[in-house]
Amino acid sequence: MSAKYYTQFILTDTEFRGGNEFSGVIELSHPMDRQSEAGDIEAVLARNFDLRRSSVRLVSWSRLH
């Protein structure tokens, strides 16, 4: 079962220095809980921007119903 999340995140890659804070909705193949590592969300975001995972810092996230 997939789950959608509203995210706020910062891209730390030098290409995004001028405007590096973003928000958006992503969909994961499985739901997460608050104890889960946010790394899954960062990995999806990094892949979408064609960046390394270390270039994405998740600020906040919440599940959409």
What pLDDT is stored for residue 6 in this prediction?
A: 93
Which residues, 6+ apart, have CB-to-CB distance to 13 below 8 Å? 49, 51, 52, 55
Confirm whether pTM is higher than 0.85: no
Report the greatest alpha carbon distance in the chain.
Answer: 37
Give me 27's structure tokens.
């969909």
CATH class of this structure's domain 3-63: alpha beta
Mean pLDDT by 10 residues, the chain (65 residues): 89 74 87 72 88 90 86
Structural domain spans, the chain: 3-63
